[in-house]
Structure 1
Amino acid sequence: MEKDSIDYKGCQVIYWTHEKDGFFIAEAIIHCNHLDDDKIPHISGKAFTNLGDAEKYILNEAKTWIDAKERSIAKRQ
């Protein structure tokens, strides 16, 4: 299980995939100090037959979480 990471809007998204029963499942954690969150979110993905689809799904989920968190903070200010 090799981990990789991307930077999105100043947040570090660390993601990895693993195989189970012939399917690829991706997971991610998000480190984002500027979003004022005490918890480090962990996102689990769906099972895909294609590794690329699993990675694309988990990165889209992470980006969606970051965008939603930013909108939530903006509404409070």
Structure 2
Amino acid sequence: IRDVPEIVACWSVGGGVDYLLKVMARDIDAYQRLVEGLLEREIGIDRYFTYIVTKIVKEEVALPLADLLPASA
């Protein structure tokens, strides 16, 4: 996963799935080729679910650190 440039983020999560991947691909065909390549590697993927972003509602690149730190006295 670390060596696949189209996978821009990977999180280990609790609940109904083990990992959540953020993938950036040129189009659906490129994405499908990526997934098929991962499945062919037999790295332990039993099943996968795909959710496609259709519209960005909010995307922050800067973290609101000032809001998270305690107020100075």
- Report the TM-score, using the length of structure 2 for normalisation: 0.29
Q: Please identify the structure whose Cα radius of gyration is greater.
A: 2
- Report the TM-score, using the length of structure 1 for normalisation: 0.28
Relative to total residues, which structure has the larger helix share, 1 or 2?
1
Higher relative contact order (CA 8 A, sep 6+): 1
